[in-house]
A and B are shown apart, each in its own frame.
Chain A
Amino acid sequence: MTAVLEIRNLHVSVEDNPILKGVNLTVKQGEIHALMGPNGTGKSTLAYTLMGHPNYAVTAGQVIFKGEDILELEPDERSRLGLFLAFQYPVAIPGVSVANFLRTAINARRRAVNPADKGITIPEFRKLLKSKMEFLQVPPDFAGRYLNDGFSGGEKKRAEILQLATLEPQIAILDETDSGLDIDALRIVASGVNKLAGPEMGALVITHYQRILNYIKPHFVHVMLGGKIVESGEADLALHLEEHGYDWVREKHLEQMEK
């Protein structure tokens, strides 16, 4: 069955300030959606809320994933259900190697299904990690480094994509994965996402710039403004935004924003 993430009339506040004001969006497994918009319109708030960050308070609406309202679930439960968030600012975990972390994550997922699971064996895990790293052309020394600790911006984003590849979610949210990357790093990260996207995975690619969409071809493009999705269209909408900027969207929806 196709996994579906359905966001219905979502309202979210941060420290009592309303940020999202009724977001509606449906992402299906196999689809790539781009969510664009100027800074400060609530794109990252949406990403964090979907994953269950405790600082984001849902004041109204629903998020249905695979038929279940996930808003009451803890972040780990959402993750194990098949949701993934590639962070804009991945967090450093000093002393924990990438390999150790990934193995723990895989085992946590297996044990959630079957508490008696003995976990992935070391040879089995090594094989899996090696294949994922080769697939994404990640240098071999990556596995032994402490997670995001002292990583460059590009390395952090590659580590996110490696996690994405290893955990194999059904829906992935990529929050400004292109930010802070030079063109080479962007190309590598985008090609990683392209390799993973397909019938098994749906993606919500959040971005400020059209740039990443030269590499990742979305099926649908949405524009967020003032905490709402105000425009939706196909790939050509992104090109239109590239050419004309966000001003026309602002003008068109000025009235709504001021409400």
Chain B
Amino acid sequence: MTTQNEELVALSDYKYGFKDQVNYAFRSRKGLSAEVVRELSQMKGEPQWMLDFRLKALDIFNKKPMPTWGGEINLDFDEITYYTRPSDKTESNWEDVPADIKNTFDKLGIPEAERKFLAGVGAQYESEMVYHSVQKHLEELGVIFLSSDDGLRQHPDLFREHFGKVIPATDNKFAACNSAVWSGGSFVYVPKGVKVEMPLQAYFRLNAEGTGQFERTLIIVDEGAQVHYVEGCTAPSYSRDSFHSGVIEIIVKKNARCRYTTIQNWSTNVYNLVTQRAVVNEGATMEWVDANLGSKLTMKYPSCYLVGEGAHGEILSMAFAGPGQHQDTGGKVVHGAPNTSSKITSKSISRGGGRASYRGLLKVYKGAHGVKSNVVCDALLLDEKSRSDTYPYIEIDEDDVNIGHEASVSKIGEEQLFYLMSRGLTEEAAASMVVSGFIEPLVKELPMEYAVELNRLIQLQMEGSIG
């Protein structure tokens, strides 16, 4: 009891730091091996092609070197549990979710959020989606919102046609890792012309110590359709590191529109190494809204491959690096077709010795004439100990383009603090206010509930920031 209380005190500024006792249906042995992969695939009852895909990916993972750039990864791959099955199936009725897991999500406010403003909800606990449901009328319109495992089972052809096509296992070491042991994540299909007005949300929870979560999300937005997918992530704090490495593949077909919003709030012992990419076809729009507050190290660069004429890509990235955290985030846009346009806006905040890096790539292929792109990176440093870096890579092989790039680094101003304090705000409240103003351009893009949540998380991050 004493230990638990001590831990609670230590975690007092991280609201989601609680851990729950759960009776797992299955937990694989530690480390990544062909045996673990086979066992996992067999338990899921997967077709042969998927097992082959996984084993090939494992081979790629073993051969690929660790990236030499980005953050420092002190992760012992042999100490991670790659597959943890909390229960035996994905429920579509909240009442059927096992009580101990339901309890966690109740604490996180998930069912309540679903009732209020979501078109569909998925909840992943460790390796598996334990709950997935979508509003009846959307189902009737042909909208598919399932766990990826159920997607593979129930829509094998559609799944196979697109799976691994946007992000092949060879893309990078962590995509290979995910490809070998992926489990859970969402499978979304929005049929032609269907506009899903309210967001679909997936909620990811890592509960056990030293666990890996490798969700795999595949979103297909058919011609003229529209969808907004939101994900949130939390985990308890442990002394041993956990590992999250998701792969998100999105296909936005002609004149369709997709927005993918992440509010990442992992505890600060999680390595968050994620690959997210969208292929954007003619006249279509892809928007990534990416807010990273938690984790020990995040390396994540949501990407848009603009392959059809007139395609548009937007990346709004926000990172908050507190003590001991490194957020290496940004975005990547590849212009592969004429008259495509893009916009990258990055806002980073570092405090208490935290490090935030913007890393971005803007590429324009020869022949992609009439391209317009604008990149803006703003960094805010809250103290002298903290660090901000910018790594903007720009590769342009076409002359007829219009590219803008701006970067700024500012320190929180003594004059701003004094001004706000002279109106009765404490120094902490004043600093918080400057920070919320700084990220306002991103927050106003979020649905109301998320905007409120993000502002609250920022307040929490700012607590105790003034020494």
Contact = CB atoms under 8 A, between A and B. Distances in A.
Interface of A: 51-55, 74-76, 78-80, 84-85, 87, 90-91, 93-96, 101, 104-105, 108-109, 112, 146, 163, 167
Interface string B48-62: 000000000000000
Given A74-B427, A78-B422, A108-B424, 6 more contacts: A54-B414, A74-B421, A93-B434, A96-B433, A105-B423, A105-B425
Contacts of A52: 421-422
Contact of B425 (A76, A85, A87, A95): A76
Given A74-B427, A76-B426, A167-B423, A96 B437 contact: yes
Nearest to A91: B419
Nearest to B443: A95
B324 interface: no
Contact of B421 (A75, A109, A163): A75
Contacts of A84: 422
Given A96-B433, A104-B425, A90 B440 contact: no
B422 A93 contact: no
A185 to B, nearest CB: 21
Contact of B422 (A55, A85, A104): A85
A104 B414 contact: no
B18 interface: no
Contacts of B434: 93, 96
Contact of A54 (B418, B430, B440): B418
B438 A79 contact: no
B415 interface: yes
Nearest to B441: A95
B108 to A, nearest CB: 24
A108 B429 CA distance: 8
A49 to B, nearest CB: 12
B424 A112 contact: yes
Given A95-B437, A95-B441, A101-B433, A109 B424 contact: yes
A163 B415 CA distance: 17
Interface of B: 413-416, 418-427, 429-430, 433-434, 436-441
A219 B425 CA distance: 32
24 contacts: A51-B422, A52-B422, A55-B414, A75-B422, A76-B421, A76-B423, A76-B425, A79-B422, A79-B423, A85-B422, A91-B413, A91-B415, A93-B419, A93-B433, A95-B437, A96-B437, A96-B440, A101-B420, A101-B423, A105-B424, A108-B423, A109-B424, A146-B437, A163-B423
B423 A95 contact: no
Identify the 3 closest CB pairs spanning chains A and B, nearest first: A95-B437, A95-B440, A96-B437
B423 A90 contact: no
Interface centre among B422, B429, B430, B433 (most CB of A within 10 A): B422
Contacts of A96: 433-434, 436-437, 440
- Identify which of B414, B421, B424 gathers the most chain A CB atoms within 10 Å of its CB: B424
A93 B437 contact: yes
A104 B418 contact: no
Contacts of B422: 51-52, 75-76, 78-79, 84-85, 87
Nearest to B347: A95
A93 B436 CA distance: 10
B416 A91 contact: yes
Contacts of A51: 418, 422
A63 to B, nearest CB: 15
Nearest to B430: A76
A93 B416 contact: yes
A79 B437 contact: no
A79 B437 CA distance: 22
B424 A90 contact: no
Nearest to A55: B414
Contacts of B420: 93, 101
Nearest to A94: B437
Contacts of B419: 87, 90-91, 93
Nearest to A173: B422
A79 to B, nearest CB: 4
